[in-house]
A = this chain, B = another copy of it.
Amino acid sequence: MTLIELPKGFRGAGVAAQIKSSGAKDLALLVNDGPLDFGTAVFTTNKVVAAPVTWSKAVVKDNSVTAVVLNSGGANACTGPDGFYDTHSTAEYVGKALDHSSGDVVVCSTGLIGVRLPMDKIYAGIDLAVTALSTNSALNIAEAIMTTDSHPKIFNKSYESGVQLFGTAKGAGMLAPSLATMLSVIATDAVVDPAKATEIFESVVNRTFNRLDSDGCTSTNDTVLFMASGASGVMSSDEDLEAMMEECCNYLAGELVRDAEGHSKIVEIKVVNAFSESDAVAVGRSCARNNLLKCALHGEDPNWGRVLAAVGTAPAEFNPYKIDVALNGVWVCKASAPGEDRSLVDMTGKHIQILIDLNAGTESATVWTNDLTAMYVHENSSYSS
């Protein structure tokens, strides 16, 4: 396998700091050598947030980010003032090692909630990572942020304009709205306008990562960070930046839903002719979170009544007697009543599409989810023990 080069201006490392008892890689460092030090991020909407989220929200406020340090093996969430001190110390340690201001160092953590991090191992891991910094460390970084992920998740592309975009993400459970339990770092060597790039980034994340709802559970640590070094010397147009960003985030969000804990189906819920885009998202999300529907999908049962029962609980405008539903292309429900014969639906494949026509307007949105399986229950009933 050819080593993947990071975009110009970036160096990184992914190392085994022994935070995980398995000895797998668990600490990553990505450094932006500039000339730009642009950074912006989107965080979980959970009111209960981990210490690194509190810290990093403050760091990105001025759009100046020179490094990010990420660890798996511990979320540093619900750890009180001590946990915040640990995050602060981590940023200071990185800042000292790189001769950066600690106030420009983003910190991300993922793993079990409610447990302090082993700080001696974090410090030793940072030392190791600083020594190992290189431009071809993309895979190591992606590996170091994995938890229950089955494989590292990487997007990397060089565009004709001369710009490169690299992204990595982790997350396999707690995959829900307002970001999945996920950390993601996206880096480019494009020259960007801070205000415009922030706006574009937030809008793209909102319609990619935030439309993934694997299990309805929102994590305390979700962070998607975007950094730009400007080292290519190429200024991306807003349109180009948005297109690149969308391609990257769509791919990584898809990687997450394809790797969700214990799933057997990948489910695309496409809502069309909604009164508003947010209505379409709300209806898609209601379906994505309906356990009975998710069980039926697992059982390959074209039980469209459960789709309607789920739609009916969504905070959205529609006429409940005018809903059409197609399962894998078969319109099993027309005007909220039986349509084509449900026995025509083939749900044996890995991918299931639920198409919901609300007949209430012109807007649409797609939400991605998974089925609910005995394996999901199994994997999540014995996580911390």
Please tell me if the beta carbons of B80 and A336 are within 8 angstroms of each other in the complex: yes
A58 contacts the other chain (CB 8 A):
no
Interface segment, one of A20-28, A112-120, A197-205: A112-120
Contacts of A381 in B (CB 8 A): 295-296, 298-299, 301
Which of A173, A217, A314 has the largest count of B CB atoms less than 10 A from its CB? A217
A17 contacts the other chain (CB 8 A):
no
Q: Which residue of B lies closest to A221 (CB)?
A: B309
* Complex CA–CA separation, A342 to B305 (angstroms): 42
* Complex CA–CA separation, A289 to B80 (angstroms): 26
A290 contacts the other chain (CB 8 A):
yes
Please tell me if the beta carbons of A79 and B320 are within 8 angstroms of each other in the complex: no
Please tell me if the beta carbons of B114 and A305 are within 8 angstroms of each other in the complex: yes
| Chain A interface bracket (under 10, 10 to 19, 20 to 34, 35 or more) | 35 or more
Q: Which residue of B lies closest to A214 (CB)?
A: B291
Contacts of A132 in B (CB 8 A): none
Those of A45-88 within 8 Å (CB) of chain B: 45-49, 75, 77-83
Q: Which residue of B lies closest to A315 (CB)?
A: B47
Among B173, B218, B309, B374, the residue within 8 A (CB) of A217 is: B309
Among B80, B289, B293, B298, the residue within 8 A (CB) of A335 is: B80
* Complex CA–CA separation, A78 to B306 (angstroms): 10
Contacts of A215 in B (CB 8 A): 291-292
CB distance from A340 to the nearest CB of B (A): 12
Among B79, B312, B382, the residue within 8 A (CB) of A46 is: B312
Please tell me if the beta carbons of A336 and B301 are within 8 angstroms of each other in the complex: no
A313 contacts the other chain (CB 8 A):
yes
Instruction: Scan A298-339; emit 1 where CB is below 8 A from any B CB, else 0.
Output: 110101111011111110001011010000000001011110
A377 contacts the other chain (CB 8 A):
yes
Contacts of A83 in B (CB 8 A): 337
CB distance from A261 to the nearest CB of B (A): 10
A216 contacts the other chain (CB 8 A):
yes
Please tell me if the beta carbons of B303 and A384 are within 8 angstroms of each other in the complex: yes
Please tell me if the beta carbons of B380 and A338 are within 8 angstroms of each other in the complex: no
A107 contacts the other chain (CB 8 A):
no
Contacts of A373 in B (CB 8 A): 377
Please tell me if the beta carbons of B374 and A309 are within 8 angstroms of each other in the complex: no
Contacts of A313 in B (CB 8 A): 45-47, 218
Contacts of A116 in B (CB 8 A): 338
Contacts of A295 in B (CB 8 A): 376-377, 380-381
* Complex CA–CA separation, A79 to B321 (angstroms): 10
Contacts of A45 in B (CB 8 A): 313
Among B77, B290, B374, the residue within 8 A (CB) of A374 is: B374
Please tell me if the beta carbons of B78 and A290 are within 8 angstroms of each other in the complex: no
Among B217, B219, B220, B336, the residue within 8 A (CB) of A78 is: B336
A378 contacts the other chain (CB 8 A):
yes
A385 contacts the other chain (CB 8 A):
yes
Please tell me if the beta carbons of A309 and B384 are within 8 angstroms of each other in the complex: no
Kindly list 7 other residue pairs between chains A and B, CB separation below 8 angstroms, not including A48-B308, A372-B377: A47-B313, A47-B320, A78-B308, A78-B337, A79-B337, A216-B290, A217-B290
A residues whose Cβ falls under 8 Å from a Cβ of B: 45-49, 75, 77-83, 112-116, 173-174, 215-220, 289-293, 295-296, 298-299, 301, 303-306, 308-314, 318, 320-321, 323, 333, 335-338, 372-374, 376-378, 380-385
9 nearest A-B residue pairs (beta carbon): A113-B305, A299-B381, A80-B337, A48-B312, A374-B374, A295-B380, A46-B312, A114-B305, A47-B312
